[in-house]
């Protein structure tokens, strides 16, 4: 039996996850990485996307994370994010609306549209939707 | 001598006022609880953030040459982010904040400095307009209600961008720091350029490090300097968010105590008026009696 590591996902508004996990997978800026107990200290920024982990009972769980960074220590992983939601807390309708809005803004192609911001918004919305959909699997 | 009816009406009026102030006090109390909850929800994030930032800054050391850290040679354009409340009836809360801004501007050694403002809250905006300072941005309906981190992030990003392209040479955050229910202190904090990251904070951390065997040596991806470059602007947002949370909490605390005082003043006033009312009533009875007795005497005579 492997040892568990403590996973904490914190946003400025609240603490989203604080529990033991067997393994944590996170989308690092330079590629996805997995963390097991006894990982060497590691610090990276995160891309928008899913943080997956297997909780103490071996169940797969997914948390959506955007705009954050992660710190891994031998006994704990801390993710600091601007926004984070557990899969079941994702507001699908809101994400859908956000995706449509962002797409429309991109399509207009007018110079006063902040291209990168719209792109990032679209990316966030799609990522949220994907995570929410994976529920049925 | 006011008539009986006047005093009675006055008492009723004061009672109505008391009801209002009491209700406002209770609303402020419950909002304060919410604001304090938001503040305590933010604390773990802020602590972790400054810890990581501290250790990174230490590591990046000499190569931390982000433009956000370097002070400008000449400070000609100062920008102040002024956090006040949207509504009044909270004692000296807003006055204290704007006074602080006034003194700060007065105490500047150089006289040829241009000032501009970003205002959170209507009261601050009104003050800036009155003093005819240019206002870059106004955000209403944020202080005192529930707001997300994105508010601070959006506003903060604008400040960082303006600082980088030279629109501002220095950016300050003026907010009300919440110490206790009875004490809220207007505080001025430098946002940009980011002041050297405190070593006191590292000293505290070494204590914590020894305790839980924290290893400062991290592998960093990408390099420490790049990571720091990513975290520094975020540090500005975090500071702004904290300022806004503190101001919100302070506003509710200030309003609570102001309304508490008002309710007390109403009670005093009601007591005094009731006394006056009773005096007037007795005087009226006495004079009526005198009349009756006088009339009876006259009849008998």
For B198-221, give the DSSP string.
PSHHHHHHHHHHHHHT-----EEE
Prior bond of B222 cis (ω within 30°): yes
Contact between B186 and B84 (Cβ < 8 Å): no
Q: What is the pLDDT of residues A12-44, one digit of tens each?
A: 888 899 999 999 999 988 888 999 998 888 888
| Closest CA relative to residue B120, chosen from B175, B69, B44, B168 | B175
How confident is the model at residue B188, as a pLDDT? Answer: 92
Q: How many CA atoms lie within 13 A of B290 on its CB side?
A: 6
Q: What is the pLDDT of residue B173?
A: 94
pLDDT in the model for residue B212: 42
Would you put residue B120 in left (φ > 0), alpha (ψ -120 to 50) or beta? beta
What pLDDT does residue B267 have? Answer: 96
Q: Considering CB atoms only, which of B45, B218, B227 is closest to A45?
A: B227
Q: Which of B46, B52, B221 sits opposite A30 (nearest CB)?
A: B221
Residue-level pLDDT at B72:
83
User: CA of B151, closest CA in chain A: separation in Å?
Assistant: 11
Predicted pLDDT of residue B257: 93
Measure in Å the smallest separation between the Cα of B265 and chain A Cα atoms.
38
Closest-CA residue of chain B to A14? B41
Residue B211 scores a pLDDT above 60: no
The edge-to-edge listing of strands for the beta sheet with B183-192 is B135-139, B114-120, B77-83, B170-180, B183-192
The predicted structure's pLDDT at residue B214: 45
Closest residue of chain A to B220, computed from CA coordinates? A43
| pLDDT over 90 at B218, yes or no | no
pLDDT tens digits for B238-252? 999 999 999 999 999
Query: Which residue does chain A place closest to B151, by CA atoms?
Result: A82
Q: Quick one: pLDDT at residue B205?
A: 43
Name the pTM for this structure.
0.84
DSSP character string of B136-151: EEEE-S-TTS---HHH
Q: In chain A, whose CA is at the least distance from the CA of B230?
A: A45
Residue B231 with chain A: CB contacts under 8 Å: 69
- ipTM of this predicted complex? 0.81
CB-nearest partner of A12 from B42, B217, B219: B42
Per-residue model confidence as pLDDT tens digits over B151-166 = 888 899 899 999 988 8
Mean pLDDT of B240-269: 94
- Give me the residue from A44, A67, A80 closest to B49, CB to CB: A80
Per-residue pLDDT tens digits for B81-127: 999 999 888 888 999 999 999 999 988 887 788 899 999 999 999 99
Do B220 and A44 lie within an 8 Å CB cutoff? yes
Whole-number mean pLDDT of chain B?
86
Residues of A in contact with B248 (CB under 8 A): none
Helical residues (DSSP H) of B61-199, grouped into ranges: 93-107, 122-130, 149-164
Which regions in chain A score pLDDT beneath 50?
136-137
Interface of A with B (CB under 8 A): 10-15, 28-30, 40-45, 67, 69, 71, 73-74, 78, 80, 82-83
Write down the pLDDT at residue B23: 95
């Amino acid at each position: 039996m492997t040892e568990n590591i403590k996973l904490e996902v914190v946003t400025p508004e609240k603490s989203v996850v604080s529990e033991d996990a067997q393994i944590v997978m996170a989308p690092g800026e330079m590629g996805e990485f997995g963390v097991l107990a006894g990982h060497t200290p590691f610090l990276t920024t995160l891309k928008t996307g899913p943080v997956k982990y297997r909780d103490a009972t071996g169940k797969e769980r997914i948390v959506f994370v955007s705009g954050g960074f992660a710190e891994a220590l031998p006994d704990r992983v801390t993710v600091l994010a601007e926004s984070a939601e557990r899969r079941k807390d994702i507001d699908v309708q809101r994400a859908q609306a956000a995706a449509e809005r962002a797409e429309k803004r991109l399509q207009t192609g007018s110079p006063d549209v902040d291209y990168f911001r719209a792109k990032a918004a679209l990316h966030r919305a799609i990522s949220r939707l994907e995570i929410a959909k994976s529920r049925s699997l | 001598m006011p008539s009986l009816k006047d005093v009675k009406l006055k008492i009723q009026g004061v009672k109505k006022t008391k009801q209002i102030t009491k209700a406002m006090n209770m609303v402020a109390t419950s909002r304060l609880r919410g604001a304090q909850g938001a503040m305590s929800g933010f604390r773990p994030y802020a602590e972790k953030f400054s810890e990581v930032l501290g250790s990174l800054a230490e590591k990046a050391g000499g190569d931390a040459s982000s433009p956000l850290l370097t002070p400008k040679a000449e400070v000609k354009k100062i920008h102040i982010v002024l956090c006040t409340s949207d509504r009044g009836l909270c004692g000296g809360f807003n006055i204290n904040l704007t006074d602080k801004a006034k003194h700060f501007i007065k105490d500047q050694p150089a006289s040829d400095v241009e000032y501009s403002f970003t205002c959170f809250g209507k009261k601050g905006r009104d003050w800036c307009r009155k003093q005819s300072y240019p206002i870059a941005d106004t955000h209403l309906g944020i202080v005192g209600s529930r707001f997300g981190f994105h508010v601070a992030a959006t506003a903060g990003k604008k400040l960082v961008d303006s600082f980088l392209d030279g629109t501002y040479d220095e950016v300050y955050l003026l907010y009300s720091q919440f110490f206790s229910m009875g004490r809220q202190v207007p505080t001025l904090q430098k946002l940009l350029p980011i002041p050297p990251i405190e070593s006191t904070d590292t000293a505290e951390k070494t204590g914590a490090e020894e305790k839980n065997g924290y290893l400062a040596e991290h592998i960093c991806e990408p390099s420490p300097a790049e990571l720091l470059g990513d975290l520094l602007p975020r540090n500005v947002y975090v500071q702004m968010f904290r300022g806004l949370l503190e101001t919100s909490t302070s506003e509710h605390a200030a309003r609570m105590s102001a309304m508490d005082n008002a309710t007390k003043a109403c009670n005093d006033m009601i007591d005094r008026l009731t006394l006056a009312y009773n005096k007037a009533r007795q005087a009226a009875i006495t004079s009526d009696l005198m009349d009756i007795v006088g009339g009876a005497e006259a009849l008998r005579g």
